[in-house]
Structure 1
Amino acid sequence: MKYTDYIIVGDGYAGLFFAHQLIKNNKSFVLFSEGRKSASQVSAGIINPVVLKKFTTFWKAQEQIDFLKGTLNEIESYTGKNYFINSPIHRIFHDGNEQNLWLKKSDNEELSGFLDKKFDHLEVVKNDFNTGKVNQSARLQVSGFFGDLFDFLEKKELLIKEKFDYEKLNASSATYKDFQCKHIIFCEGMGVKENPFFSDIAVIPNKGHHIKVKLSEEIPKDMTIKKKHFLFPTDNGLHFYGGTYDREQLHHHIDESAVTQLVNGLSEIYPYDFEVEEVNFGFRPTVKDRRPIIGRHALYKNLYVFNGLGARGILNGCYFSKSLYQFIEENIPLHEEISSDRFNS
């Protein structure tokens, strides 16, 4: 029998940021990865403290940004790289009313640190009413983050590349195959619907597509451009454009209507030729109140769930991984806004 403090099931932002908490605190663990690309692994990696439809912010935005920067510095100590890309979002205004609303909101105490009062006019893309810069916004270098962390875990023999088999789990004794552990953390995204212990949690699938395109005229490389969707350069000479949000078409193949929506959206702001080289999609686990779902199983007290990160997977996964760790190890109660108990009536 192999003894370990934790088993983590899932290889997206929730799983890897929680793994970092364990590394940081010298806890033993193994992480189960199916090897299929999760929604996290095909995500845009946008780090954004502002809701760009309404120019509002969200719960603990500044704390989450600060905590992420510190965490990425800690991860750099063992991967040798920092995955924070200083590429601020430039939001293209639809009209003068949006400009005025942006300026009005920028005086709000919650938003003054995020909404830049100075407008910019960009070359190459259409922005007749200029753009507003979101201060403290950035991107995560997604492929490097996942690739390097998986390499690190594999070298330390902490990565198990196989699908977790629920039937082999004895929940009462916290044994799985030849592992004996103290705690099991399920961080499976929409895969949780197959999990007999947490299949009833209130996550809703939200399907997102993005395209990778070859542009005929280069756009500025030091920024992320946003109107309907996000546009930015990737490492291989292509540009990312996306992503869509769809709660209806939930089959596991590409929706041509979503691709058309993206091509039309890009054409609105980019008046030159481009070629679609790649189409990807994933299923975000979203929650009605836009808060993660974190908690302990009602019957099996060594089983936990960490899910519902939604479109802000990087910020939510990073920040609330510490809340879950402190809940388990230090008996610090979960905030009622993220606790799975909030759905119990």
Structure 2
Amino acid sequence: MQTDVLIIGQGICGSFLSWYLLAQGKEVIVIDEERASSPSRVAAGLINPVTGRRMVTAWMVEELFPFANKAYTDFGAQLGIQAFSRKDVVDLFPNPFMRESFLHKLTEGNEYIHRVDDEMHFANWFNYEFGAGLIGPAYTAYLDRLLPAWRAELKQQNRLQETSFDINALQIEPDEIKYDGIHARQIIFCDGPAGMHNPFFQALPFSRNKGEALIVEIPELPQDHTYKKSLLLVPLSEPGLFWFGSSNHWEFEDDKPTPAFLEQGKNLLQQLLKIPFKVVDHRAGLRPATLERRPFVGFHPLHPSVGLLNGMGTKGCSLAPYFAHQLAQYISGNTSAIDPVVDVKRFRRILERQ
């Protein structure tokens, strides 16, 4: 079987990369063993213009937000689904210090921080004492629709192999890649946390962390916003369902859901909500983050046919479309360079030494 590009992984990175490459006229085969704990299937899909408790404006937000808007809209339109929706974040201040910090950012003129007309407007649904603010524009990517829909399309076109990838069976030759009867010009790893163990790229400064979230049914809560009070409550595509989380653990035994988070999440929801809720699922997964909080994009300096699109961390929904497009343009010869801030060749010395 002959193809231009063999892609390992069909999370958000592999999905956008395969979509863009096919649009450029490239032949693509994707290998992916579907796992419930993959980071793209555990993620909330939130695209937030500010980050952290200090409400710092997200990196490259001016470029990433309009790009993501068009990318998800176009991808969804091709698949006949809504893949993207504006869901500004209602910040329910948990204490007076967070309120003061928010108001300080407001006076600094941060364009993504806004007042709300009535700070107690949300008191019908939530317990909170110190008022509320608004962060926006913010968006939700409906990964629970997009990834399965694109998977079905790849299967229909015979471009998907649903199996685990065995890197020991990979053969790198001067003019082609060989794997299990597949002959390709290039291979791109979009394999999330597994990238830490990839012999070509394991020397890169990955930094995995574990997140957990609950899927909660709250039929009385409006789904026109994302809500935040310490943790996030993000509306999903199915009416009445919300994603609640997420935790960050740097030390963990495995990628499985833990009873401790389930108990903690239920307690927090009971304190937060004035209306009935029901936990319908509990998810956990490892995030492919990086020590410097910048993605890994591009090709190995010693193996120019072996590439990587990884390290998106908690910002995958905004970063993946943009850098998948950039990598697809590079592969197709429409651009001569990858942004040096994300190009894996910035780690040339350690990759060559490895």
- TM-score w.r.t. length of structure 1: 0.91
* 8 Å contact kept, 1:50–1:58: yes
Amino acid in the other structure paired with 1:282: G
**8 Å CA contact retained: 2:87, 2:137:** no
* Separation in structure 2 between the aligned mates of residue 56 and residue 73 of structure 1, nearest angstrom: 27
Structure 1 match to 2:264: 261
SS across alignment from 1:163? coil
Q: CA 1:250/1:290 → structure 2, altered by over 3 Å: closer, same or farther? A: farther
Query: What is the RMSD of the two structures over their aligned residues, measured on CA atoms?
Result: 2.1
User: How many positions carry a matched residue from both structures?
Assistant: 341
Is this contact kept in 2: 1:205–1:250, CA < 8 A?
Answer: no
Match of 1:226 among 225, 228, 236: 228
Instruction: Tell whether the 8 Å contact from 2:106 to 2:114 is kept in structure 1 after alignment.
Output: yes
Aligned amino acid, residue 145 of structure 1: L
Aligned partners of 2:303, 2:138: CA distance in 1, in Å? 40
Unaligned runs of 5+ in 1: none
Residues 293-342 of structure 1 show CA distances to partners (whole Å, capped at 9, x for unaligned) of: 11311322100011111011111111111222233333532223212233
Contact 1:125/1:219 (<8 A) preserved: no
Greater shift, 68-77 or 26-35, is seen at 68-77
- 4+ residue stretches of structure 1 with deviation over 4 A? none
AA matched with 1:165: D
- Could you tell me how far apart the structure 2 residues matched to 1:258 and 1:322 are? 36
1:87 Cα deviation from its structure 2 partner? 2.0
| Secondary structure at the counterpart of residue 283 of structure 2 | strand
> Quick check: 311-320 or 122-131, which moved more?
122-131
> Which residue does the alignment assign to 2:212?
209
Unmatched segments (≥5 aa) in structure 2: 350-354
> 1:249, 1:240 → 2: CA distance?
22
Residues 204-254 of structure 1, C-alpha deviations (whole Å, 9 max, x = no match): 221111112344x72222111111111144416443211111110141322
Deviation at 1:267, TM superposition (A): 3.0
Within 5 Å, which residues of 2 pair with 1:109-148? 111-112=110-111, 114-118=112-116, 120-121=119-120, 122=122, 123-148=124-149
State the SS of the aligned residue for 1:204: coil
Q: Could you tell me how far 1:93 is from its partner in structure 2?
A: 1.3
Task: State the partner residue of 2:352.
Answer: none
Matched, 1:339 2:343: yes
Is the Cα contact below 8 Å between 2:235 and 2:242 reproduced in 1? Answer: yes
Tell me the distance in 2 between the aligned counterparts of 1:297 and 1:289.
19
Which amino acid in the other structure matches residue 194 of structure 2?
G
| One-letter code aligned to 2:76 | E
Structure 1 residues 130 and 23: alpha-carbon distance in aligned structure 2, compared to 1, 3 A threshold: farther
Q: Deviations over 1:58-102 (max 9, x none)?
A: 221121110011112321342112311222211111334433432
In the alignment, what sits opposite 2:167?
166
Q: Per the alignment, in what secondary structure is the counterpart of residue 208 of structure 2? A: strand
Distance 1:127 1:290, change over 3 A: same
Counterpart of 1:86 in structure 2 is 86
Q: Percent identity over the alignment?
A: 26
Q: Are the equivalent residues in 2 in contact too, given 1:189–1:285 (CA < 8 A)?
A: yes
| Structural mapping, 1:241-320, within 5 Å | 241-272=244-275, 274-320=277-323
SS at match of 1:67: helix
SS across alignment from 1:180: strand
AA paired with 2:266? V
Using the alignment, how far apart are the partners of 2:107 and 2:271 within structure 1? Answer: 30
Contact 2:210 2:255 in 1 (8 A): no
Task: Say if 2:42 and 2:283, in contact at 8 Å, map to a contact too.
Answer: yes
* More moved, 229-238 vs 185-194: 229-238
1:49 and 1:62 in contact (8 A); partners too: no
Judge conservation of contact 2:84–2:141 (CA < 8 Å) in 1. Answer: yes
Contact 2:86–2:140, Cα closer than 8 Å, also in 1: yes
Whole-Å Cα distance in 1 between the matches of residues 159 and 52 of structure 2? 39
The amino acid across from 2:143 in the alignment is: V
1-side partners of 2:204 and 2:253: how far apart? 18
- Secondary structure of 1:164's aligned partner: coil
Structure 1 residues 265 and 341: alpha-carbon distance in aligned structure 2, compared to 1, 3 A threshold: farther
Deviates more, 1:94-103 or 1:310-319: 94-103
TM-score (norm 2): 0.89
